[in-house]
Amino acid sequence: MTPFQKWLWTLKIRLNRVVRPLIDGLVASIAIGAFRLVRLLGVDRASNLGGRITRSIGPLLPVNARGMANLRAAYPDKTDAELKAILREVWDNLGRTAAEYPYLDEIWDWDDDNPGAGRVEAVGLDHFRRLRGDDKPAIIFTAHLANWELPAVCAARHGLPVTAVFRTPNNARIARRLLEIRKGTMGELLAAGSGQQVAFAMASVLEKGGHLGMLVDQRLTRGFKIDFFGRPASTNPILGRLARQFDCPVHGVRVIRLPGNRFRLELTDALDLPRGDDGRIDPEGAMRVVNAIVEGWVRDTPGQWLWLHNRWKM
């Protein structure tokens, strides 16, 4: 590197240190202002508006091409018109989910005396109740389907202590605002990070007999290479490894978006996971089972999954 190149590199770093906080502050102000505005609309109007905006803008964004490529590979027999219709629904769901964020405390309105009469209906709440009373560790996984924040809200409302693993936005002000919302509606929260620190924290939850909730449908470069929609996908092994370490039950939970801004939540019974010759849970085999379940969920409601994520990058 020449002296001039070094000077340019140093200047770039210094400018970034000055400009980045200004940009982050502007973005955070806009986002927090939007949260407050959306809060004035009411959940139905907010959800409908969020869906309408992203349906209009989303297909114009570069990431839309990735979504189409993913859909073409997953559904080679569908026409482009069919795939575009699915992708419009993906954008609609994404906008609705974002707009519903300020209303998480209202959406889960389950009433034991009148089940299914409100915005939500549920299948498998008996599993929640058994988990609540068995005094044992357990893992509950979900995927980016419909409004994927609702399982943690459901657990908190039904007295099931769950530590939910979540990814924090890079923008610190937005991250703080989202954390405020989540703390008011969910149980314990554990920020996902890189390295061993978060793995140790997750193991600590189970070691204390707690319940761990996690999303399992995003890519981890160094993960297991397991088929997902017929193509190898780098899959995070942490669920399988923790299940092996603690020999604890593993449940799946999915959310389905219904007409009229309603939702159905379905919690599976404990999965029968494959075991090795030593009798212990096989981590890679466990993740194959989990991937297959998530794929089945996505096939049921393809327009409610996050096809925009680069799930198959190796």
Buried b (16+ CB within 10 A) or exposed e, 126-147: ebbeebeeeeebbbbbbbbbbb
Q: Consecutive 10-residue runs of the chain (314 residues): their mean pLDDT?
A: 66 58 51 67 92 93 95 96 97 92 86 84 85 87 94 85 72 58 65 71 91 90 92 94 96 96 94 95 97 98 95 84
**In 58-171, which residue ranges form alpha helices assigned H by DSSP?**
63-74, 80-100, 104-107, 125-133, 150-157
The per-residue pLDDT for 28 is 45
Report whether 215 contacts 305 (CB < 8 A). no
- Amino acid letter for position 113: D
Rounded to two decimals, the pTM is 0.84
Distance CA(281)–CA(226), nearest Å, equals 17
| DSSP structure string for 112-128 | TTSTTSSSEEEE-HHHH
